[in-house]
């Protein structure tokens, strides 16, 4: 197992991969689903629906943040690369305590949740090489 977790998430779920810092290959570690997602369609107004939907995503981001924090504290991983749509990425970063956030070595604000692992590794290497702000 590598010392880097690649966390590919959105508001409905997350795939966590292990890799080394070069992202040469990704090894699946676990898949998590947002257990709060899906029940929010109960005839609310569009504005109410959006805020309730975001609340379920923020709750999932907090749970995911706890999962990452446990791995960092257990020294299972050293570095974390976060890949998520912009709003969920913000929620996830807000959910991380500073001691865990210090292990975030890159952020990719894109929805890559459906990309296969071999293609994902290539896309991430390209994104990190092109955008020096991610390091």
- Tens of pLDDT, residue by residue over 3-37, are 999 999 999 999 999 998 889 889 999 999 998 76
What is the distance between the alpha carbons of residues 97 and 105, in angstroms, rounded to a whole number?
Answer: 15
pLDDT at residue 108 is higher than 80: yes
pLDDT of residue 27: 95
Predicted confidence (pLDDT) at residue 135 exceeds the cutoff of 80: no
Angle at 59 between CA 80 and CA 76, to 5 degrees: 25
pLDDT tens track for 39-98: 444 444 445 556 777 788 999 999 999 999 999 999 999 999 999 999 999 999 999 999
Strand-by-strand arrangement of the 27-33 sheet: 27-33, 13-19, 4-10, 79-83, 104-108
**Six token digits for residue 14:** 């997350």
Architecture of domain 4-134: 2-Layer Sandwich (3.30)
C-alpha torsion sign, points 124, 128, 130, 133:
positive
Task: Examine the pLDDT at 118 and tell me if it is beyond 90.
Answer: no
Taking residues 121-128, report their average pLDDT.
Answer: 90
The neighbour count for residue 135, using CB atoms within 10 Å, is 9
pTM of the shown model: 0.85
Listed by start position, the domains of the chain span: 4-134
């Amino acid at each position: 197992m590598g010392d880097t977790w690649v966390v590919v998430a959105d508001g409905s779920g997350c795939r966590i991969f292990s890799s080394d810092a070069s992202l040469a290959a990704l090894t699946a570690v676990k898949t998590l689903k947002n257990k709060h997602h899906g029940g929010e369609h109960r005839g609310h107004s569009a504005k109410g629906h959006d805020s309730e939907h975001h609340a379920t995503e923020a709750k999932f981001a907090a749970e995911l943040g706890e999962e990452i924090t446990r791995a960092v504290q257990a020294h299972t991983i050293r570095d974390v690369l976060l890949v998520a749509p912009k709003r969920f990425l913000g929620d996830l970063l807000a959910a991380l305590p500073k001691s865990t956030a210090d292990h975030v070595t890159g952020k990719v604000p894109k929805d890559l949740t459906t990309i296969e692992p071999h293609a994902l590794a290539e896309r991430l290497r390209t994104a990190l090489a092109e955008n020096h702000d991610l390091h």
